[in-house]
Chain A
Amino acid sequence: MIKRHHTPYSIYKVLIFSFSMALCACDALITSKTDPNGIVYCSEGSPASFNPQLDTFGTTVDASSHQLYDRLLDFDQTSGEIVPALATSWIISPDGKTYTFQLRKKVAFHKIATFTPSRYFNADDVLFSFNRWRLPTHPYHKVSSGRYPYTDSLNLNKLIKSIKRLNGYRVEITLQKRESSFLANLATDFAIILSAEYGDTLITRNQQQLIDTLPVGTGPYKLSEFRQDQYIRYTQHPDYWRKNKLTDKLIFDITPSSSLRLAKLITGECDAIALPAHSELEVVRQQDNLILDEKPGLNIGFWAFNTAKPPFNNPEVRRALSMAIDRNALLETIYFDSAIAAKNIVPPTSWAFQADVKKVNFNPISAKKILQDNGITEGFTMNVWAMPVKRTYNPNAIKMAELIKGYLREVGINVNIVTHKWSTFRERLTQGLHDSVLIGWSADNGDPDNFFRPLLSCAAIKSGTNRAMWCSKEFDELINEALDYSDIQERAYFYGKANELLAEQLPLLPIAHASRYQAYRKELDGLVINPYGGIRFGGVTKN
């Protein structure tokens, strides 16, 4: 028996139907909806812990400092001035040794699953946090690694004589000696405030190490989940003391590959990314929906002359050598224009910057003349030491040395480029075996003293950071005097004088301040590059 079948529908009809179905579905699928309640930041790695006291590693700082915690003081992100944070005001005694901080009231700590704070932030928390790195007798001093690299390197534990609780909201810190950069140190990413109550609770539970892995702070976000090498989730701290707008969630998507971070930024999987590579900056600029912010970093790449050695002890010679170099060409080739030309040793973002100092213009002809006037004849040979490693302030010192070699040949000087293994290199520099060196400096707080003192003071020759071997009484007096005042205007006056002296004497030729970059999507609002350390998401919103 033969059954009747209905007419077979054409395969093409089926195809057309399914194709149009697919098209309809596509429309819903490809229009990506971004959730305004959460910010996704693609970071470069997993933090070692959630406590920046323990570690100067940038990844740890980014993941903790400004998200989870607050400091007594903060740097203003644009002016670099020290502004109140957990301390509402402070008084400095006339001798500059005693600082009294008035603390902010009604600042709530995070409430997490295992800990509910019973009180607001007060002086005990300040003592607890500072004494942790300061006093070996503190119950938490040896918890985690027991090392506090930042505060140790600045000798803050030695500098502070005592920290006293005057009352619940008043703390007095006494120093061994006067040091006006002290306030700046309290505003760095590392001077965070922990919860003393949480510390006590953990001691009763015998879980001390959790203080650094399950953190409690006063910051805009609290930690909700961390998976090694995958992500960090933060949620809003509902009782945050600053009246900032906060998103419900903040997520760090840990993406070690720089190109993958960029790709995710383009597809909208990240709202902002960490450390875009120099070679990728152009890609970011070309995308309409991306923003690339640029800010000069707190660093300086320079060419230092060994002023202890003739003929480099002669300022005229140093000036002539400097005039033979086209610094703009160096910026283009070495920094791919991702740096700004340096005028002082401090970057323009610093309040100690001075624009109107004596300039060094590119002029090989007059350079040659000055050199001859000073008895340096055609065929003079000098060496240029180029550091073997890559640093933000100088991504390729060896290539820079080759360019300099070319420029100096024009004025009749032969150059030998010298480079060693990094450790040997630094050791021999400290011994002063070089004629000149291409190196630089990165500062970690907004205080200009962090540039002047280590780079060019007499004392820094011994400690091995004064690469110019330059010792000038006049300069030392200026920068010491600057530290005696705490008013910025007054200090700026002395640093201005110091800048003028440096531009006059040229113990080193400032070349560039390499920029810092922040790439993010247009929807993000309020993200600012923080020149004084880690990224801040408090106050960043998404449209």
Chain B
Amino acid sequence: MVNILLRYTNLIIITLFILSLLSFSLAYLFPGNPIEVLTGLKLEELQKLQNQSANIAYKPEGSVLSQYGHYMSELFSGNWGVSFNSGQPLYEEIMLSLPASIELSAYALTLSLLVGLPLGFLAALRHHRATDYTLLSISVVGYSIPVFWLALILILVFSLQFGWLPLSGRLSLIFEVPSNTGFVLLDILLADIEDKPSVFLDAFRHLILPTLSIAIVTTTLILRITRRSVIETLNSEFIQAAYARGLTTRQVLMRHGIRNALVPILPLLAMQFPTLLTNAMIVETIFSWPGIGNWLIQAIYQQDYSAIRAGMLAVSVFVVIFTMSIDMFLRLTDPKRKKIERGTI
């Protein structure tokens, strides 16, 4: 147990170290002065600030190694530099937009699980029958549709044609909800505002289309994974044995089927989260969702190198920590896994 924990911690630390090196080297690879990219400040402004207070560690004349040291210490103290474009601290900007993306991905994942799992079971139980084939064909179609195209089609139909749902942002600007957690539904719950139900309704209306566009692809994926796993489980010997004991199909499924089928798919499902986040980042730009994907795209458009550097670091750190923690959790809970089979990303 301790051994596993140590191994994973080690792995995470090494990966994060490599990531920090990468983001640090970006400062040298991007055009412009590396110090400017690292801090987001022009050299003269930096000089001025340094004259005022000794808090800023970077020295233009220092060696690369010492710069890296400063960079790391600044990162840990939450001082990620400022955006070239808006002049706002990057840490704050990222902490506002990253939760929005995580929120969107989480809802999409929940929706996909709620729909994908039962349908996957259904398809497996009706194996080689019309239902199975129909679901499988639908899933192939769903899986092949590019997310951004789907998002645009949804907008075209539900927003522009029928005028049912809004197409941008995550809350009407009329409502003023202070951002405490960055998760919009939670913020509304915590906020001290009038007429909460209608604010919730508005937030929900904004959520539908982006969540759907991401969820459809993931749902089809989950459907296929579940179906395969259930079919394999139902063909295994202990199921045959259960039938031999005289159990009905339903009893077999409830007692032996579901649990055994879910064990192999859960880790696979958790691994969908990074893909989901990537899809969410694409969809965000289409729905003007104020998440990290949209934010990074804007930074790229405006050649805001300091923001690109920090954004890339934040997203990758989040993904690394998330996937590795899930992996570790599964490793700790599943006694069958003796070795670190999937100790990589």
Contacts and interface: CB of A to CB of B under 8 A. Distances in A.
Interface of A: 2-3, 5, 8, 11, 26, 28-30, 32-33, 35, 37-38, 40, 228-231, 233, 249, 251, 253, 255, 260, 263-264, 266-269
Contacts of B204: 29
A517 B288 CA distance: 25
Interface stretch (B33-41, B155-163, B229-237, B324-332): B155-163
Interface of B: 85-86, 88, 122, 155, 159-160, 162-169, 172-174, 176, 198, 201, 204-205, 208, 246-248, 250-251, 288, 290, 298
A29 B288 CA distance: 20
A8 B166 contact: no
Given A228-B85, A267-B159, 4 more contacts: A231-B173, A263-B155, A263-B167, A263-B168
Contact of A28 (B155, B173, B174, B201): B201
Nearest to B205: A29
Contacts of A267: 159-160, 163, 165-167
A32 B198 CA distance: 10
Nearest to A40: B173
Contact of A228 (B86, B163, B168, B250): B86
A473 B11 CA distance: 88
Given A5-B251, A29-B208, A264 B168 contact: yes
Most chain A beta-carbon contacts within 10 A, residue among B173, B198, B250: B173
A5 B288 CA distance: 50
A2 B247 contact: yes
Contact of A251 (B173, B208, B247, B288): B173
Given A35-B174, A263-B155, A230 B290 contact: yes
Contacts of B159: 263, 266-267
Contacts of A33: 198
A8 B169 CA distance: 43
The interface residues of chain B, by DSSP majority, are classed as loop
Most chain A beta-carbon contacts within 10 A, residue among B168, B201, B208, B290: B168
Contacts of A29: 164-165, 201, 204-205, 208
Given A5-B250, A29-B205, A269 B86 contact: no
Given A33-B198, A251-B174, A260 B168 contact: yes
A3 B162 CA distance: 51
Nearest to B286: A260
B243 to A, nearest CB: 13
A436 B138 CA distance: 65
B242 to A, nearest CB: 12
B167 A269 contact: yes
A390 B201 CA distance: 45
A97 to B, nearest CB: 46
Nearest to B249: A8
B163 A269 contact: no
Contacts of B288: 255, 260
A50 to B, nearest CB: 16
A30 B162 CA distance: 9
Nearest to B131: A11
